C-alpha cells in the first residue's frame, strides 16, 4: 500500500492518532478498574475506545515500515522500529481485558452464584487492567520518544 497522501507520508498523522488513542484507552482501562462510577458511565464505550487504539497500532506500524524503507537506516531509527513492534500485544491485551471486564459486569456477575469466583474476578480483573494500562502508557512514551529522537537527532 502507498502510505502517502498528496506526496506526504501518512505515518506522522497515524502516529498522532496512536499516541492519543492508546494512552486514552489505557487511562480508561485504569479508570474502569478502580472506579465503579467510571465503569457505569463508560460502559461499552471503554472497549470501543480500546478498539480504536488497537486498530491504530497496525496502521501506524505499517505506515512506519513503508516510510522506513524510504529512509536511510540509522541505529536510532532501528531502535524506534524495534520498540514499535512491541506495542500491538499490549493494545490487544487492553482491548481484550476491557471487553471481558465489560462483559463480566454486564452479563456475568448476575449469573455466577459462587461468591469466591466473584471475589477472585473482582481482585484479578482490576489488577490486570491497571497493569496492562500502565505498560501501554509506558510503551507509547518510550516508542514516541525513540521516534522523535530518530527524526530530530538522526
Residue 110: HSE in the Cβ half-sphere, 13 Å Cα cutoff: 4
User: Stretch 40-57: mean pLDDT, rounded?
Assistant: 95
Mean pLDDT for 59-70 is 91
pLDDT confidence of residue 154: 65
CA distances from 85 to 18, 107, 132 (A): 13, 34, 16
Mean pLDDT of 69-83: 89
Residues with Cβ within 8 Å of residue 117, at least 6 apart in sequence: none
Amino acid at each position: 500500500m502507498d502510505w502517502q497522501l498528496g506526496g506526504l507520508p501518512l505515518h506522522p498523522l497515524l502516529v498522532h492518532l496512536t499516541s492519543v488513542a492508546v494512552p486514552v484507552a489505557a487511562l480508561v482501562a485504569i479508570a474502569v478498574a478502580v472506579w465503579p462510577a467510571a465503569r457505569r458511565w463508560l460502559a461499552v464505550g471503554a472497549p470501543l475506545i480500546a478498539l480504536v487504539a488497537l486498530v491504530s497500532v497496525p496502521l501506524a506500524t505499517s505506515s512506519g515500515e513503508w516510510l522506513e524503507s524510504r529512509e536511510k537506516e540509522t541505529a536510532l531509527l532501528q531502535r524506534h522500529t524495534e520498540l514499535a513492534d512491541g506495542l500491538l500485544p499490549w493494545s490487544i491485551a487492553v482491548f481484550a481485558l476491557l471487553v471481558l471486564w465489560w462483559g463480566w459486569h454486564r452479563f456475568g456477575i448476575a449469573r455466577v452464584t459462587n461468591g469466591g469466583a466473584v471475589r477472585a474476578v473482582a481482585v484479578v480483573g482490576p489488577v490486570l487492567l491497571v497493569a496492562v494500562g500502565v505498560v501501554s502508557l509506558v510503551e507509547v512514551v518510550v516508542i514516541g520518544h525513540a521516534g522523535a529522537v530518530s527524526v530530530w537527532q538522526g
